[in-house]
Structures are given as C-alpha cells and as structure tokens.
A and B are shown apart, each in its own frame.
Chain A
Amino acid sequence: DTAVSQTPKYLVTQMGNDKSIKCEQNLGHDTMYWYKQDSKKFLKIMFSYNNKELIINETVPNRFSPKSPDKAHLNLHINSLELGDSAVYFCASSPGQGPHTGELFFGEGSRLTVL
C-alpha cells in the first residue's frame, strides 16, 4: 500500500493551460504539504495544511491554489501555467507526534513540464 500517493506522476502541458495534481495519504496524519523541487534540486515549501486548515502559504504566485477536501487529501491546482512552473512537485504528510518529531513522508513526486 502506498502511504502517500500523487497523480499524475508525469504531466506535460502547454503554457497557459490549467492543471491539477492530486495527493492522498493513508497514514492518518493531520498535516500535509506541497513542496516544489526545481531543476537544481532545491526543495522549497509551498503550502501546508493541518486538518484541512491552511497553515503555511509561502510566497507563491496566486496561480497556485491548494485545496484540502479532507485531512487525507491535498490537491494542487495551477492556473495559466508558465515555463518557470516546470519542476517536480512533492506532496508530503507528517504526524503530530512520533519518534522522529516532524518527519515528512513523501509521495513519489509529480514531474510537471511546461512547453
């Protein structure tokens, strides 16, 4: 069973299009995240939700809109895609407590290519 699953894994689209990436976790975690990994492999937090409430909203263009219908799901919708949006987008979740306080459990990543 995949703990954190993202779909699609690969996404190729034209500039100006709108696309969504879906994420689901079956770990019972309260907190979910979206990270962006650029071409230089740098990982940057975009959003965080805790029990469906938006907690972290980093400086991200408002073309990016996260949605959390319940605490097991966190989707990312991107409007008017630009070339610079090409990246790998990682969904992650973390428990409220545990032996490794704050450990992130990552999905496999969704590679977005904007042409």
Chain B
Amino acid sequence: AQKITQTQPGMFVQEKEAVTLDCTYDTSDPSYGLFWYKQPSSGEMIFLIYQGSYDQQNATEGRYSLNFQKARKSANLVISASQLGDSAMYFCAMREAIFTNMGRRALTFGSGTRLQVQP
C-alpha cells in the first residue's frame, strides 16, 4: 500500500505568489516524522522542513511552512513568495517509529511534484 501520496505530478505558479504542494500519508504508528525535500535539476536532494507527529505547532522554515492536519493525515508544503529558483521536484517523505528502532526504518518517499515558477 502506498504510504505517501502526492497527487500533483506538476504545478505552475507565478513568481511572488504562494503555492501549496499536497501530501497525504498512511500509517498506524503514533510516532512518525514527515519531511519535504527539494530536488533541483542539478539532482541533489535538499532538506526543507520537518514535522513530528507530536509537534503541537505547524513547522516553518523561512518561506516554507507545513500545513499539518493530523486527523486528515495530510502534510502539505506551502511556499510563500515563489522565486524562479524554487522550480524543482518536491518530495514528501515519512519515517515511522521515530523514537524507537531509529536505524531500522528508512524514509519512504512520495512520487514527487514538479513545480515550475513562471516569471
């Protein structure tokens, strides 16, 4: 069963506007972490933001914020004031059992969303 679902294969946004990239997840584990990574055309994987399942507040990192809705099992990434350099693939990922057996779980990734920022 797919654990991470990203339903938007591609998105367009105008420069300086905000954009939301969707991510839903599936787990029965109460302790998990959700991650977003950016992969520009150069290929490297860049960590953007993290949300723990027990975190009370939504995570924010500069222009990135995570809209975490636990009951709906969604962890959407919001990018404010888009820039041309934001054009990239964006991956949502999850790690289960984050407080136990750390080395025994890997991050599971979604299929990604290709974001293109237009001038």
Which residues of A lie under 8 Å from residue B44 when comparing CB positions? Answer: 106, 108-109
A17-61 vs B, Cβ < 8 Å mask (1 yes, 0 no)? 000000000000011010000001111110010110001100000
Which residues of B lie under 8 Å from residue A16 when comparing CB positions? Answer: none
> In the docked arrangement, what's the CA distance between A61 and B111, Å?
22
Count of B residues near A, CB < 8 Å? 25
Which residues of B lie under 8 Å from residue A41 when comparing CB positions? Answer: 39, 89, 111-112
Q: Are B35 and A96 neighbours in the complex by a CB distance under 8 Å? A: no
CB-contacts of B59-101 with A (<8 A)? 89, 91, 93, 95, 98-99
Given A43-B109, A56-B106: A100 and B50 within 8 A (CB)?
A: yes
- From B39, B47, B89, B103, give the contact of A31 (CB < 8 A): B103
Q: Are A45 and B107 neighbours in the complex by a CB distance under 8 Å? A: yes
B45 proximal to A (CB < 8 A): yes
Q: Are A100 and B47 neighbours in the complex by a CB distance under 8 Å? A: yes
Q: Are A102 and B102 neighbours in the complex by a CB distance under 8 Å? A: yes
Which residues of B lie under 8 Å from residue A55 when comparing CB positions? Answer: 103-104
- From A31, A102, A109, give the contact of B98 (CB < 8 A): A102
Interface residues of A (CB under 8 A from B): 30-31, 33, 40-45, 48, 50-51, 55-56, 88, 90, 92, 94, 96-97, 99-106, 108-109, 111
In the assembled complex, 28 residue pairs joining A and B whose CB atoms fall closer than 8 Å, in A order, are: A40-B111, A41-B89, A41-B112, A42-B109, A45-B106, A45-B107, A45-B108, A48-B104, A50-B102, A51-B103, A56-B106, A88-B43, A92-B45, A94-B102, A96-B102, A99-B50, A100-B33, A100-B47, A100-B50, A101-B95, A101-B98, A102-B33, A102-B95, A102-B107, A104-B47, A104-B107, A108-B43, A108-B44
